[in-house]
Amino acid sequence: MSIQNEKDLQGILKAGKFVAKVRELLKLLAKPGVSTWELDTVAKQEFEKAGAFSAPKFDYKFPGYTCISTNFEIAHGIPKKETILKNGDLVNIDVSAKLDGYYADTGISFVVGESNDTLQKLCATAIEGTMRATEQAFTGNYLRHLGREIHSAAVENGFTVIKNLAGHGTGKKLHEEPQVLVYEEKRDQRKLGNGLVLAIESFISTGSQTAYEEEDGWTLVASNRRGELSYVAQCEHTVIVQNGKPIIATL
């Protein structure tokens, strides 16, 4: 969607503030010994208190209030009682909500407890790529320049990107046009319109460039042609395109 009036602006900002709050709360609670189901239960309580709807559950009947992925899972991980977090686990928490008719979407990857240098760098690169892309979200700029920044951040840090996953428009539904690729498609001549609402996200990988769906029909993993799994980190923010500096609704 594109922001048309003050009501739209305040609606996106309110939804963005809510999902950012839940994201940070779950990140804080993600300690060794805690299950992803327990984290999702906390999210459920926050949704109910705010009168918000879980966007993946509402729009797609996802079996959880949030997507919580661990280690070689990239995204759409299903919260489970048997998935107990351990020291050194790579975790991705993705929170998206419908609140008062408006959607916002955010996510972050991080390591529980102590981490090795590669995973720390991977998570930092995901943040770097998304923030660099966000700086390109100004009126009249080419859409492809967002993907260029994400891909450049990955390559500069010795990583690659998952090319069959992308960010997206959002606002009135969880997923809207346009797709926001994580690399530059130079043939794409589309430009960003003022007020356009985007969920900008990076998918930074230690090797593979392709995501595959697991047998559960939700969880995504990344592997190469030899079947070797890659770690992937994500960072996602809901952003409003502006004539000047973009507005990040989910900081």
Q: Is 175 annotated as a binding residue?
A: yes
Picking from 151, 127, 134, the residue whose alpha carbon sits closest to that of residue 196 is 134
Residue 159 has phi, psi (to 5 degrees) of -120, -175
Q: Is 236 annotated as a binding residue?
A: yes
Q: Is 76 annotated as a binding residue?
A: yes
Long-range CB contacts for residues 67-72, cutoff 8 Å, separation at least 24 = 67/92, 67/93, 67/94, 67/107, 68/26, 68/36, 68/39, 68/40, 68/92, 68/93, 68/94, 69/94, 69/219, 69/220, 70/36, 71/231, 72/221, 72/222, 72/229, 72/230, 72/231
Q: Is 94 annotated as a binding residue?
A: yes
Q: What is the CA radius of gyration of the chain?
A: 17
Angle between helices 117-135 and 144-156 (to 10 degrees): 150
Picking from 239, 177, 216, 192, the residue whose alpha carbon sits closest to that of residue 16 is 239
Q: Is 188 annotated as a binding residue?
A: no
Tokens of 26: 């779950």
Q: Which residue has the tokens 């990107």?
A: 161
Q: Is 201 annotated as a binding residue?
A: yes
- Residues 82 and 103: their CA atoms lie apart, in Å, by 30
Tokens of 132: 């660099």
- Residues 110 and 234: their CA atoms lie apart, in Å, by 9
Estimate to the nearest angstrom the gap between the alpha carbon of 208 and the chain centroid. 18
Q: Is 228 annotated as a binding residue?
A: no
Binding residues: 76, 94, 105, 168, 175, 201, 236
**Which residues are documented as binding site for a divalent metal cation?**
94, 105, 168, 201, 236
Annotated binding site for substrate: 76, 175
